Amino acid sequence: MSARALRVAIAGLGTVGGGTLAVLTRNAEVIARRAGRPVQVVAIADLDTERVKASLPAGSTIEVYSDAMAMLAQAKPDVVVELIGGTGFAQALMKAAIDQKVHVVTANKALLAKHGNELFAQAQAQGVTIRYEAAVAGGIPIIKALREGLTANRIESVVGIINGTTNFILSTMRDKGQAFAEVLAEAQRLGYAEADPTFDVEGHDAGHKLSLMAAIAFGMPVRFDQVSLEGITALQATDITYAEKLGYRIKLLGIARRREHGVELRVHPTLVPARHLLANVEGAMNAVLVTGDAVGQTLYTGKGAGAEPTASAVIADLVDLARASSAASALEVPALAFQAESLEALPVLPMADAVGGHYLRLRVKDQPGVLADITRQLADHHISIDAFIQQEPAAGSGQTDVVLITHPCEERALRLASGRLAQLPSVLAEPVSLRVEFLA
């Protein structure tokens, strides 16, 4: 263990940065025994240098900078851990690190989703790596599983609960029967949701992570710009209840699926069979279900966020670098799993081409022949029904709900059929539809 330490500079000592420093300090011995040499934080950059200095133990030799660029130039790190977030300064810092042939470890999914293709190419040209295990699903080593653990497979799909905030909200809506807005307010009060929750509840964050996983699963560039995004803000408690009665739970899923002529990339609330393990991943947990042609279904679950779970992933990347016996060996695993020159620009299919089951809720007049009208419309669009329930009408209302689950069909067909259903005289309101994944 006399080998030179891996010199680590941390840019941004917020939640994850603080967790990284804490775990590297607490577990220094066990980490060095695994890595073959110490993994040592030599410098920290943060705008609030006073807070950082106050948090370090007396006698600490860690250099503290207010300017991450100055740290990069002066601290001579082997690797910069970028935990600033966002796509502005973080991107400039990453480029500067790469230019100076310094490796980068990051948790910044937004930056990689938007600019990963250029950054990965730039890093490869400079002979350094950008590692990003922490960018997806917290401490679950899903990037490693996809890039290295499942390399035998033609990956068919990656389906994930990859945003803890929305999963917590959905779990609570179900458990307490509350409306979205009410649960969101409570989650904000408890600190489980941001003051501006748009990024989470509209599916952007899940879309960032999905675009990275799809790239490494299928050997394609990162295509966040082509992910179809639909959040949970419009989800109604009544549909959670009906889904439950039909044997399903509603989760915000990120879905990447290989199809014959391209790939589906989509994030939306989805009904999944209640008995599937994925349906039982509750609260702030994350889970990723990967289907490969050889391995079949494998599922990975754990905490998707938080200081130390994310630090666990950051440090795994650092240990990989510490173990590398040469400059070349740090580059052995391609950034996007496939050799850069062999990435394929697979077409991303429009949502209308997506294939899956559908949940339809129809407010109808309580009169004979309604169900026949509905089923005929669906049959005319070659959509068959897997299950349905018809609610007893409230006394004297003359109205009721018909709720059904279709067998898989193209979304195009479902939209056409739904449009026709809306025009039936017996259908009293715009049909509500949600997507279903059978996960078989």
**Catalytic residue positions, numbered:** 209
Of the candidate spans 64-72, 176-184, 304-312, 413-421, the one that interacts with a second copy by CB under 8 A turns out to be: 304-312
Cα angle 207, 209, 210 (rounded to 5 degrees) comes to 60
End-to-end CA distance of the chain: 49
Given candidates 220, 337, 405, 417, which one binds a second copy under the rule CB under 8 A?
A: 337
Least distance to a second copy from the beta carbon of 316, Å?
A: 5
Cα(116)–Cα(358) distance, integer angstroms: 34
CA distances (Å), origin 350, targets 251, 266, 345, 347, 354: 22, 9, 15, 9, 7
Number of residues that bind a second copy (CB under 8 A): 67
432 pairs with which residues across the strands? 361
Least distance to a second copy from the beta carbon of 235, Å?
A: 24
The encoded tokens of residue 313 equal 């992933």
Given candidates 145, 387, 416, 424, which one binds a second copy under the rule CB under 8 A?
A: 145
Q: What are phi and psi of 323, to 5 degrees?
A: -75, -20
Cα(228)–Cα(331) distance, integer angstroms: 32
3-class SS of residue 370:
helix
150 is a contact residue toward a second copy (CB under 8 A): yes
124 versus 400: smaller Cβ distance to a second copy: 124
Given candidates 316, 348, 364, 434, which one binds a second copy under the rule CB under 8 A?
A: 316
255 is a contact residue toward a second copy (CB under 8 A): no
Least distance to a second copy from the beta carbon of 413, Å?
A: 31
Least distance to a second copy from the beta carbon of 137, Å?
A: 10
Given candidates 5, 299, 371, 387, which one binds a second copy under the rule CB under 8 A?
A: 299
Cα(160)–Cα(138) distance, integer angstroms: 13
Of the candidate spans 167-175, 196-204, 329-337, 358-366, the one that interacts with a second copy by CB under 8 A turns out to be: 329-337
**Residue tagged 């941004």 (tokens):** 12
222 is a contact residue toward a second copy (CB under 8 A): no
326 is a contact residue toward a second copy (CB under 8 A): yes
Q: What are phi and psi of 57, to 5 degrees?
A: -65, 155
325 is a contact residue toward a second copy (CB under 8 A): yes
Cα(103)–Cα(126) distance, integer angstroms: 10
Least distance to a second copy from the beta carbon of 287, Å?
A: 8
31 versus 414: smaller Cβ distance to a second copy: 31
Provide the residue count of the chain. 440
Window 364 to 403, contacts with a second copy (CB under 8 A): none
Given candidates 205, 308, 411, 437, which one binds a second copy under the rule CB under 8 A?
A: 308
Cα(343)–Cα(335) distance, integer angstroms: 11
Secondary element (H or E) of residue 360 = strand 355-365
Of the candidate spans 46-54, 132-140, 371-379, 383-391, the one that interacts with a second copy by CB under 8 A turns out to be: 132-140
Least distance to a second copy from the beta carbon of 179, Å?
A: 26
How many angstroms from the chain centroid is the CA of residue 92?
24
Window 5 to 24, contacts with a second copy (CB under 8 A): 19, 23-24
Q: DSSP readout, 142-203?
A: HHHIIIIITTTS-EEEEEEE--HHHHHHHHHHHHH---HHHHHHHHHHHTSS-SS-HHHHTT
Window 28 to 87, contacts with a second copy (CB under 8 A): 30-31, 33-36
Given candidates 61, 342, 397, 423, which one binds a second copy under the rule CB under 8 A?
A: 342
Q: What are phi and psi of 303, to 5 degrees?
A: -70, 130
Give the footprint of a second copy on this chain (CB under 8 A): 1, 19, 23-24, 26-27, 30-31, 33-36, 133, 138-141, 144-145, 148-154, 219, 275, 277, 280-281, 292-303, 308-309, 311-316, 319-320, 323-326, 328-329, 331-334, 337-339, 342
